[in-house]
Structures are given as structure tokens and as C-alpha cells.
Structure 1
Amino acid sequence: MKNILLLFTGVLVLLSCNKSLEPDLTFGKLPEERMAERNAELKAKLLEGSNGWKAVLRTSLRGGAYGYYMQFKDNEQVAMLADWSEATAKKFDTSTYRIKYVMNTSLIFDTYNYLSILQNPTGSANGGANANGLQSDIEFEYLRSTADSIILKGKKYGNTLYMIKATADEKTAFENGEYLTAISKLKNYFAKNFPHIIIGGNGTEKKIELWINSTTKVIDGDYITPDKNLESTNSGFAYAINGAYFNSGLVAQGIKITGMKWKSDTEIVAYDSSGTEYKINTSAAPLTLLHLALGTKFKLQAHFKTIYPGTSAKGSIIVGHYVNNLDNAYSGYKFIGGALTFTFDVPNKKLTVTGWHTQTEGASIGTGGWNTVITYSYTKDENGFYKFTHLSGPALPQSGANGYVQRLMSEEGKETIDSFLRNNRVSFDYYSEGGTSYGRMTSVENPNIVMTFALIR
């Protein structure tokens, strides 16, 4: 009995030492209270932007960036524009959003909208890969905010969604359809000019030539060194209502160029991370040379049923012999996709031309079909002119699907890409139109033979 009393007394002593049986509030509040406050903070911040939000989002597949304008409503609806296409830049799309605590406060766009285009799993819908699209997000973790910005991070791919408060004038401009006008203006500027900026001083000046690609949404900054080597930097870019944002920045000589903006109707400047401005100059011809970038930076590629701007009539016959005959009786097979890819092996001075063709809907180039390959060695003179010599590939077409495609690449007596490369010296240069830069292949002996190709990293 005495032992029982002692044990009971000990329990009472322990209980008396505990002033409260309530949870230990390490941060002064219950976890669910902190979660609710964090969610409310983001909701209030979104609604605080009464003029809407300008936004930039990078994608992982090719590093391109996309621009948005968003207006959030208290009823969990969001209206947005995007620089994805002419239609999305002009017509508002309304969808829904949620704010939910999942390890942290998250902004979730839960119905299909212009953000969803980037992650569409059908590659043909956005030019991305099947299953993953352009590798983008619709669910974002709330990181932090300032007086005029919100910063969120994609939950799957980790790309940052930057949101900046729009002004009343910008809101009016977006609502009046001026986003499309601004996009077209910048595209037109790059189509008609070869822009560059000058950085450095005291004998270290560099002319950085700027190239934008509206298809991949990547901007390049190229510089030719005194010993004729190529230095290059690139960033995803998004069109703004008054220029463009560079999501990761063009970095040269320790300077990070983060965007460009119009100072007037005719004057445009680039600016760096500290706000310093650099006048954008133009030249009549490119300052940098494409042949220095082939193999070190770019491949060239022609696509199914596509003749790119800048291709001459004779060039259209040659490249068209492949891209336009894959799905008709000439080939003997009904292919629904195809591409010609020119890959330069600079150390070994070799060129590989790969003819890819497929009967699989949505297949990615190089997979889900067949590859027919021809290889060449090459020499390059002081002018950057190439002379190609056939090394291997289909001299006589084989049977089956590959055999038919080999005819399109190298059929004797036809104007094919193989006969062109065997019988011409070739020069390469850039060509820009409609806000996109291309690679152009021209015969030195027959300059009326010009073929333009997509630049592929």
C-alpha cells in the first residue's frame, strides 16, 4: 500500500511540473494557423495587384521563356494573355486557380489555360516531347514577395515564375490588344536589322550581336574574338509590353544583360542587372559568322512539309525533294513526319546528314521511326567556304522504308541534298525573318541555290 501511494505521489509531482497540456507552440501558433496565414498572404498579394501581373516562366526542355499577363479575381478565377501565339497575345483566357498548402503554400492553376499549353503531353501541340511537352509546370510553390513582385517555383521542374505588378497604363495597354502590337514590333525590328550592343571599354570593347528565336524563345549573344573564335551566351526570353525580359540573362565580361526596352518609337536599349543601359546599334550585315557556330553551337534542320523563309526557288526544289515527298506516292510510304538534320563534327571535320522519317503520331525527331544517314568529310578555306566529300551512305537504295527515303536524299539524276553537297562549295550565314533567326546554306558557284534551315542546339 505504501508503494502505491508513493507511485501516485510521483505522478502528481510530474503532472504539477507541466503547466499546460496544450501543444508546444514552437513558433507561437498552431501549424494549421501558420498554414492558413501563409495561404492568406499569397491570396492577398495576388489580389493586391489591381492592375494585374506581368509574368515570365522558363521551360526546361530547351530553356525558352514565355511571357504572361494575369489578372487574379477573388472568386478564384484568373484571366491571362501569353506570348505563345498571336491569338494568345490578344484574346484573354479565363480559368481557375487554387491556393493550397502542400509542404508549403502553393499556387495551382487547375483548369486548362495558356500555361497548360507548355506542358501539353502531345509533342505536336507545343513542339515539345511526347509525355512531357516543353517540361513546364502548372503548380508553383510560393517562395517570397516584395512590394511589387511575387516569386514562385515550379513543383516538378523547379523553374521560377516571376510576377511583377503592372501599372494602370500597362493594364490598359494589355486590355486594348497592345501586347500583340509590342511583340510584332520587336520581331519586325530583329527581322530588318542585325542588332548588337557594345560592352567594355579601354581597349576591351566587345560587340555582342543579338539573335532572337521566337520558336524556341531563346536569345543569343555572340562575339567573334580577334583570333576568329566564337564566344556565345544565351538566355530564354519573354516578350514584354515594352520590350523583352531575359530570364537568366546574357552574361559577358561579368555583365548580365537582363532585358531590353523601347526608349522611344525608334530607339531601343538593353539593360543589365544593375539598371545600366546599353544602346542597341544595328549593322547592315551580321557581325558574327555562322560557320564558326556549326558543330560548336548549332545543327541545321529541315522539317516535314516546311520550306523556311529565305529559301530560293532552286533551293526549294532540293530541300523539298525530301520534306515534301515523304507522304505521297513518290516515296511509296505514307510517312506523317520527317526531318533532315545536318550535324558537324568539327574536330574530325565530318558532316552527318540524317534523314529521319516516321509513321508514329507525335514521335520526337530521331525516335519512333527510321534514320537514314549519309556522311561526308569537309575542308574549309579562309573565307569559310566548305567543300564536302562523300564518305559513306546509300550509294544504291535498299528495300523497305529506308530504301524509299534514301531515294529522297540521294536518288541519281534528281536534285537532292546529296548531289548538292557533292557538287558545290557551300557558304553558311544567318538569315532573320519574323522574329526568328535561321541558318542559310548557299552555293558558292551557283548563288541562286539557297536553302534556309532551323537552328537547333
Structure 2
Amino acid sequence: MTAAHIFTEQQEIKQVIMKKLIYIMLALFGFIAGCKKDEDPIFDDPDTRLAAALADHQAELLSASNGWKATIYPKGGKGFFYYFKFTADGKVTMLSDFNTTTATTPKESTYRLKALQRPTLIFDTYNYIHLIADPDANVSGGSNATGLTSDFEFAFTGSSGDSLKFEGTFNKNAMVMVKLSSAEEQNILGGGIKKILDESTLAVSGKILYIMLNNKQVPVSMSMTGKSFSIAGQSSSPFSFTLDGLELKTPVTYSGITFNKVYWNASGKYFYLLNGTTEIKIEISPSPLPLDITPALHTVIKTRWTSMRINVADLPDLSADFMTKYNTANASLGTYQNNAGRYIEYINILFNADGTVTFEIRYKNPASPSSYYLADFIYNMTLNTTTGIARFTLAAAPTGNANTIKSYVTALTDYFANNDFKIVYISAAAPAGSTVGGFLSQNDPSSFFYGILLQ
């Protein structure tokens, strides 16, 4: 065999091999193509998934034929009840326990669902849910610019049974919605939330409250305006109203007993707690009950606490006797300088290092709203270090502004000087997070005043 013949045969072998490779590759490509036709993609289109999720959530919102009850506890404090009823055309009707008007006047607005980072429910026109986020403090009851630091856009976070769970997209406030029964909806639409607002506020506002636990009177504080509940000044929670009581944001615990809710007895017009199945009625005391706190308040004035502020607008539990004296002095002050309308803004009690106490009245002239005046009445304090009972006598004749207005505010200054007071920590309605000090008259058990302790 010649070299030429050998080269030709090698070429033929290569051609055979190449043909086989081509056939194999064609078969492989055909197999892959067939797989692509027969199998779904591993990953769905993201837009398709989001559209499906939004459709599912829309169906959930519309599934509550009797509407939803919702609770929100803003970071700025308090708690709020809402009634929502959604329609397929993007409308929502609301009621709320924000005030008696919002509790009885249904208001319609719009909503939409949008795919942000998560499927999100957006209340996009102004309604009752926006009140608590309103940057005007006079509207929200919170702070200027931030309101109560609430939300009106909520991302879906989960569901359980008849409940839907959400998280605010901006302030991260939780919102829970629960389906209503037909009877609950009719009760709400019939003014049920307003009824409990009115009746319970009348029952407890300005009252000193307590419960009996282990044969002991335990102070209870319930602020209907501040929407906070506490036991013995130790365990507290914001609350929202419900048809049958107060829904606590977090359980409160005292003496090893945990309470999850405050119940309302509509026929008896009183609140109660449940220890298992045992009803514990919230009772009314004629005078404040001292809190069992060590060291006692009278031992740490001047050191731990240097003053106490009495702003009657923030302290709804002040005694009727004190408020009579306060209102008399305030009205009289308004007549100064031809009825110029001066008024008391608040009172500070200053615990001075030398043992004296300054009864400081801060008052204003409505003609100069940015200015204020201080009238300092200085008293000697005789304190029984065992009982915590103090007596106050005027240390010197008033000077300056105090001398100017002394004849107008005698109802207050005489009250301070003519009573012996027991100085104690008490449980009474005050802004959330405050420590409250009480001055309990020993001459009249029903007479007392209290304020927020300041360092």
C-alpha cells in the first residue's frame, strides 16, 4: 500500500468520525429543545408572581362580608380601633375610636394595592386612619411634624384564620385585622364604639381605681384620653377600645398574674379583669392609694426629684376639691388688669436644697402668647420623716409677680398652706412614661392633688 493510499484512508476515517459527532450533537440539541418545550421555567416572571399575590390579597380584603376590625398601636403612644369595609372598586368605609364623631360617622375613601418591596395596602386618600399620623399636633394628639408616628401604608406580613397581619412601611407599626361577624358589624354601625367610649369615660374619669388581689388593695390607673392602663404603677400597656372592653397592646402582669384584656360590664357600667374565669372588679376609692415603692417619695425629694409639675390638662384624676380651688384662682386671675384674661398655664412645686418649697405659678397673657410670667410663693416645709406628712407655712411675704397676683390666687395658696399633706407615689392618669407624685390631704381624705415628678 502506497503512502497516498494510507492518507486517503485516514481522511475517510476522520470523515466517518465527524459524521458520527454531528449526528450525536444534532440528537442532543433536539433533546434539549424538546425539554424546553415540555418543561416550565424554573423561575416564574416576577411581575406575574406579584400580580398574582396582589390578586390574592384583594380577594382576602373582599372576603370579609361584614367588614374588619383593626387595631393599631402607634409608636407615639395610645391604641386605636378601626372598622374597615372594602369594595372591589377601590373604596373603603371606616369608623374609629379616635373620638365620638369618628365612632359614629362612617367615612368613605379610596385604597389600592401596590407591589412595593412587598405587596402593600395603601390608604391613599384622607380618612380616619390618617388622623393619628397627621403632622398637626392639634389633630393627631401627638407631636408637630410626626403626629403619633403612625402609618397609612401597610405591607402584608401574614395571615392566621380570620386574621390578616401587616407592618407599616415607614414607621413599622403593626396592624392586625380580624373579620367581623354580622352581629359585631351591626353593633359597630349602630354606635357601639361610641357607647362604650361615653359610658366608660363617665364611669372612670376623675376616679381613683383599684383591684383586690390577695386581700390587698392594688392601685389601677386607666387614662381614657391617654389610652393607657397600668397596675400599681409597675406594669402598663396602651389600649384600644373594643365592643366589650379595652384591647391591650401587651399583657400586664402583677403578683404573678397576667391580664390580657380589660372587660366592660355594660349593664353594671364597670370594668373588670379575668384571672382564669374569676372576675376581678375594678373598684373606686375615695382617695388615692399609695404605691409600694422603696425608697419612699418623701425621702428622695430634693435629691432624686427636684420638682413636680401640675398641668391640669394632662392630669384628669385631680380631686374635685383641688379643681374647685384651681378654677376659682384661674377665673380670678383672668380679671386682673380690667379682665385681660390672664390664665394659669401650669404650676411647678420646686423642692429646694435648703428645705423650702416654692409654689410656682406660671401664667400667661393671651395678648402676648409667646411670653409667660412666674409667680413664686416660698414656703417652709415641716416634714415628718416617718409618716411622710408635710405642713407648709409661708416663709416670706411674696415679692415680684407673686405679690402682684397674690390676691387673685388665694384659693390655691391658702389650700396649700391650710392642709397637711402626705407625700407619696400614687397611681393616677398622666402622660405615658410619667412618674406621679401625690399630695394627699390629711384634713379631707377626698381632697388631693398630684403631678409629674421631674429631675
The two structures have a TM-score, normalised by structure 2, of 0.69
Instruction: Tell whether the 8 Å contact from 1:237 to 1:245 is kept in structure 2 after alignment.
Output: yes
From the superposition, tell whether residues 122 and 322 of structure 1 become closer, same or farther in structure 2 (CA, over 3 Å): farther
Q: Which one is further off, 32-41 or 375-384?
A: 375-384
The match for 1:214 is 224
2:62 is aligned with 1:44: no
The match for 1:316 is 327
Instruction: Tell whether the 8 Å contact from 1:302 to 1:453 is kept in structure 2 after alignment.
Output: no
Instruction: Tell whether the 8 Å contact from 2:70 to 2:83 is kept in structure 1 after alignment.
Output: yes
2:199 is aligned with 1:185: yes
The match for 1:403 is none
The match for 1:32 is 47
The match for 1:66 is 80
The match for 2:245 is 243
From the superposition, tell whether residues 69 and 315 of structure 1 become closer, same or farther in structure 2 (CA, over 3 Å): same
From the superposition, tell whether residues 320 and 137 of structure 1 become closer, same or farther in structure 2 (CA, over 3 Å): farther
* Structure with the greater alpha carbon radius of gyration: 2
Aligned equivalents of 1:81, 1:306: Cα separation in 2: 28
Instruction: Work out which of the residue numbers 146, 151, 156 in structure 1 matches 2:170.
Output: 156
Aligned equivalents of 1:215, 1:180: Cα separation in 2: 14
Alignment of 1:1-12 (within 5 A): none
The match for 1:6 is none
Q: Of Structure 1 and Structure 2, which has the larger fraction of its residues in helix?
A: 2
Post-superposition offset of 1:381: 5.3
Post-superposition offset of 1:121: 1.4
Post-superposition offset of 1:44: 1.7
Aligned-pair RMSD on alpha carbons?
A: 5.0
Alignment of 1:170-319 (within 5 A): 170-191=184-205, 196-197=210-211, 208-222=218-232, 231-253=233-255, 255-262=257-264, 265-266=267-268, 269-271=272-274, 278-282=279-283, 284-285=285-286, 288-289=289-290, 300-302=309-311, 310=320, 311-319=322-330
Post-superposition offset of 1:176: 1.4
- The letter for the 1-side match of 2:181 is T
Instruction: Work out which of the residue numbers 377, 398, 405 in structure 2 matches 1:411.
Output: 405
Aligned equivalents of 1:237, 1:327: Cα separation in 2: 46
Post-superposition offset of 1:328: 6.0
Structure 2 residues without counterparts, runs of 5 or longer? 1-21, 430-435
Alignment of 1:327-366 (within 5 A): 329=340, 331=342, 338-341=345-348, 353=360, 355=362
Structure 1 residues without counterparts, runs of 5 or longer? 1-8, 223-230, 398-405, 433-437
Aligned equivalents of 2:265, 2:445: Cα separation in 1: 40
Instruction: Tell whether the 8 Å contact from 2:334 to 2:341 is kept in structure 1 after alignment.
Output: no
Post-superposition offset of 1:256: 3.6
Post-superposition offset of 1:50: 1.2
Post-superposition offset of 1:430: 7.0
What is the number of residues matched between the two proteins? Answer: 402
Post-superposition offset of 1:161: 1.3
The match for 1:435 is none
Q: Deviations over 1:51-80 (max 9, x none)?
A: 11112111222x211122221222221111
- The letter for the 2-side match of 1:221 is I
Aligned equivalents of 1:36, 1:344: Cα separation in 2: 65
The two structures have a TM-score, normalised by structure 1, of 0.69
Percent identical residues: 21
